[in-house]
Every structure is written in structure tokens, then in C-alpha cells.
Amino acid sequence: MAAPKGSFVIRNRCFAIGDLFLITLSALLGFAIRLDFPLFWTRLPICISFAVMAVVIKVPVYYFFGLYRRYWRYASVHDALIILLATTTSSTILSLLVLGLFLPQGWLDGFPRSVLIIDWLCSVFFIGAIRFSVRFLGEFGVLKRGNGRDRQNGKPRRVLIVGAGDAGTMLVREMRNNPGVGMEPVGYVDDNTAKVGMHIRGLSVLGTRGSIPHLVRQFKVDQVLIAMPTAPGSAIRQIKEICESVPVSFKTIPGMYELLDGTVQVSQIRDVQIDDLLRRDPVRIKTDDARYVHQKVVLVTGAGGSIGSELCRQVARRHAKRLILLGHGEHSIYLVLCDLQRQFPGLNLTPVIADVRDKPRIERMFQVHRPEVVFHAAAHKHVPLMELNLEEAVTNNVLGTRNVLEVAHQSGVERFVLISSDKAVNPVNIMGTTKRITELMVQDIATRAGRNFVAVRFGNVLGSRGSVVPLFKRQIAAGGPVTVTHPDMERYFMTIPEAVYLVLQAAAMGHGGELFVLDMGEPVKIVDLAHDLIALSGLQPGRDIEIQFIGMRLGEKLREYLFLAGEDYEPTQHEKVFVCRGCPSLEGEALHRAVQRLLQLAQHGASTAEIWAAAKVIVPECAAHLDAPRTPVNLPLEPGPKRRAQAWPAL
């Protein structure tokens, strides 16, 4: 590890020289403590011989245990254990030589055996003390040259830490270890009243979040840092409102999924983002069940999209043997390929530019690369655009999925995972209808062929291409207005990494034919998203940026739901994943004929009415956008035993 800039560095060669002295001192003290002063001088030759032996044995052992390859400025409990192990091992070797070889040979006559224990105790103390003194001096600023002054007024920013847990204490440690960041912590606030008044890493817990306005004025706080990476969105929202009322600037550390690849550091502090305000109780990272991709050839279709690219990253972290990136857009595949090559330089990557509607091309690709696990994320998903291009929605989503499904079945693929959507539930648009048809096709082929093919259904993901959050950001950057379709419009939201993690876990539970549904938490009003994004931009809704309601677009409904009426569903071993088994309207040969009829109409330029009529044969619950939505069903707030979704009143 490189030393922080501006720090006084004690090199490990200095520790090696110091150890020569301390090992000798420990040996001499062992004799001095054990023997009276006159007797000590008579045993001095034996003492010197023992000291030389100790140096010869202990220094190589310390080197073997890495005591000269560590940066002791950040010494930890683990380092203390290494010191204890190294000193104990070296003292044991020395004791075995003295007791087993030298004393029986008469080479150290008169050697007091208790000296071995005293020498070990002194070694543990001295070797540990000289190293941990470096951290001790660093904690109190003795070894620091830089003072981390604020560029504007020459003083460090005074910060108040919200959250006296692990994240908050790590922030304090980083601020003290790296004064160049220009931050001086003044204390904590925490909603756990039992912590109020306690001292953690030399700072007091000064109160709860309600004390923030008073503490900001009392301690002249320049900034509030929210160190609550697992807090729900409601808590972040309240703290944001408190800080705005003072006013005082505020930032936060990364959330759970941003911390998977590293620890909390001051450099990771950032402005509060919309993801933070939407956070529910976070998805808990349990034992990873996605071992089925380890050392497997994995194919991801739609790899250039938001979900597909994140699937590629998370599969890469699980050490796939080879990762095949299939997509129709060369630029998006190129960008994902470059990103993966940078993050995973040793990963075997194969980019494939192909259209899933081209079955001969898909067959050749499977023959050449032999994928063992397939994630099918390729699909058209933009609802209003697909309403104006029904043929594209049907051919890409239905024909493309059928091609990949059939070729995967013929090629003996071990596991197939379809990425579905909550818009497949009682769909009022062609995009949702096609996704429901693909769910039925996956369940049908899994049932008939006994294959481990499953589908995973979930709602909107924050930040995906074409989603509402990037649109709002562009509108705010342009000075407004921010356009919202309807004041009561609401959707389920997840972060992209969170959704993909659950997809991987759900697929591990499948045996064939299951439809997994991700618990998305509570739906969020789109107008609330707009207000939050405007506020996070430092502006006020209605004053700086106008919000306009423009009316619902083609194929939209006010609310999305996660289950069809009549679907039996039950919790799985993961509390955020449900599995449901409905009664498909069509299956087997009847489903095949109906799908073939729909595809023929789409490919031959049939009318919108004819395409919708053919789709309704497969998905009777679907309704064209001019019809009323039918019997939506919501997800229960808490998992329980098997349930049957009940019909709710039409919206």
C-alpha cells in the first residue's frame, strides 16, 4: 500500500534494525529478571549466546510471517494476531533448540528454563509496541505533515456524521488518516438513543437526527455526512429535509451495492442521489447461490442493455469460464466489452453481433460457442414506441425469444433464464403482452422437455435507458419543465444491481417451469420522483422548475402489479423472491399454433386489430390501450405461505 501523500513514512528496514536491538534486549531482560545481579554477570556468556541464537532464529521467522512487508500506519487486530503468531512460532523454535539440542549436549550448562517464557513475553510486547506505536502516533497526528485545509478559507470543513455505526466510524478514521480531504469531524448523531453521550473513536454521539439544526449552529458545522448505507429511503428523505431547513449542505456514502467491491472511504462520499431516496429496506446479501455460473460458458442476450450489461458484470464476478455478449447494436456491445475488459482483464469474453430473430445465425452461434447457461434479456421495452410498432414488438420479443429458446433446448443448455416484466400482468400494451407470451413459452418448453428453464418478473429499474429518471435529469438540466403523465401514476422501482442480483439468486432456485417474481417493495409515485430530483439539483419545484402533467401515453396504466389474478404464489428461501405457478390459457401444441399465427400476422403486415385479436387468444387477460385495465393484483407486504392472488377492483 502506498503511503498517503504528505505523511512521514517509517520504512520496514527501520523495523528490521529495531528488531535486532529488541530481540537482544528481550534475551538480556529474560536473564536479568530471572537472575540476581551478581549471578547475571556469571551467566553473561550464556546470555550472549542465547541472544545471538534468538536473533538468528527470530528475524527470519518474522520475515516469513510478513512483519517487514506491512504498512503499520494502519495496523489492525489482524496484524496484532500475526505479531503474536510470529513471536510465538519463533520462541517455540528457539525453545525446542535450547531444550532439545543444546542443553542435552551440555552446551548451555546453567541455562534457566524460565528465561524462555520471559523472553517470549518481552518479544510480544516489544515487537508489537514498536509497530503499533506508528499507528498510535498517526491517530494523534504526530506523523502527519499535511493539514487538509479548505481551498476557500484555509480551514478544514467541519462535518457532522449521521450514523454512529461501522460506516460512520470508518469515515472518521479515514478523515484522520487522510487530512488532505480537508474534513474535521465534530461528532455523531444517531437515532439509537442508547448511543447518545457515548464516545466512539474519540468523538461524542451528540444527539439524534432531530438535534441536527441545533448542533449545526452550536459547532459551526459546514457539512452533514450521512453514513447510513442500509437506511430506508424514508430516513434519508427526512434527513435531507432537516438539512435543507437549516440550511446546511449534505452528502452521503455509497449504498449497499456500491460497497460490494470495496470499503467505505472518504473518496466515496457523494451527493445524495435519487437511488438513496428510493431505498427500501435493502436486499440483504446472503450466501451467493449463483454458483451455477462458476466455470461455465454463459450467454447473455441483449448484453448491451441496462439489465444485460449488469448481468455480464455480476456473472463475471462469479468467475464464468467464458462470457458471450450477444447484441444487435454494435456500439452498445463495444462499450460493455471495453468496460468488462477493464474490470476483468483475465476473463474470456466473446462479443457476438446478431439479431435474435435470425434463427440460422443463432444456431451457428450456439454450435460454435456451446453456451451452458443462457440469460435472455434481449427485448424491445419502450411501451409507447411499441404501441406504434406492433410488428417489431411481436417479432423481436416473441419470435426472438422462441428462436433462442428452441436452439437452447436443442443444444442441451443446462439453464435458461428469461428476463420478464411486471407489464406482463394484465397487460394493456403490446410490450407487456409479448412478455406474457414469452413467459408462457418458457413454462411450456420446460414442462414438455423437463428442462431447467425459468422466467423472472420484476418492475422498473432506476437509471435504465429509456426510463423516467434519466429523462427527468435531462429536462432539469435544460431548465424544465419536467413532464409527468398523471399525478397518480406510480411504479415499482429497483436499482439495476439489486434486480440483477435477485435474478441470479432466483434462477438458482429453479428446477424448470417456475415463474419467479421479485418483491419490489412499495410502489413510488412518479410525481414524487420529479420533486426529489428537482430538489437534489438544488432547485425548488414550482419556483425554479415547473412540473407539467401531460396525460397518459399509449399503452400506459396508472399502476403496475406483480401477479395475475388466480396465480398461486409462495415465498422462497430468499425473502425478496416469490415463485408462482399459474394456469396458462394455452400450452403445448395449441400454444405453438397460436404463437405461429401471431407471428405470421406480424411478419405479413396485418392490421393492428388482427394482431391484437391473435394476441388475445394467447393472453385473454390482455386489453388494448383503449380498453379498461382488468383485475390487477398487488404483492403482499410480507411473505407467507402459498397464496392465491385475488382480483382487485378495476382502476
Catalytic residues: 423
Question: Could you tell me if 308 and 300 are in contact, meaning their C-beta atoms sit under 8 angstroms apart?
Answer: yes
Task: Find all residues with CB under 8 Å of 393, minimum gap 6, and list them.
Answer: 380, 386, 430, 431, 434
- Round to whole Å and give the CA distance between 209 and 241: 11
- Round to whole Å and give the CA distance between 428 and 398: 17
Torsion of CA 49, 50, 56, 61, to 10 degrees: 180
- Round to whole Å and give the CA distance between 642 and 30: 71
Question: Could you tell me if 226 and 253 are in contact, meaning their C-beta atoms sit under 8 angstroms apart?
Answer: yes
Residue 106: what are its φ and ψ, rounded to 5°?
80, 15
- Round to whole Å and give the CA distance between 231 and 256: 10
Residue given cell 407486504 in the structure block:
637
- Round to whole Å and give the CA distance between 447 and 411: 17
Find the length of the chain: 651
- Round to whole Å and give the CA distance between 317 and 323: 11
Q: Which burial class, exposed, middle or buried, applies to 513 when counting CB atoms under 10 A from its CB (0-12, 13-18, 19+)?
A: buried
Query: For every residue of 544-595, which 3-state class applies, written as one string?
Result: CECEEECCCCCCCCCCCCCECCCCEEEECCCCCEEEEECCCCCCHHHHHHHH
* Lookup: cell for 342: 477493464
Whole-angstrom CA distances from 407 to 80, 356, 370, 412 are 57, 11, 11, 9
Secondary structure E strands in 175-292: 183-189, 199-200, 203-207, 223-226, 249-252
CA–centroid distance for 624 within its chain: 38
- Round to whole Å and give the CA distance between 279 and 495: 9
Task: Find all residues with CB under 8 Å of 600, minimum gap 6, and list them.
Answer: none
Q: Which burial class, exposed, middle or buried, applies to 640 when counting CB atoms under 10 A from its CB (0-12, 13-18, 19+)?
A: exposed
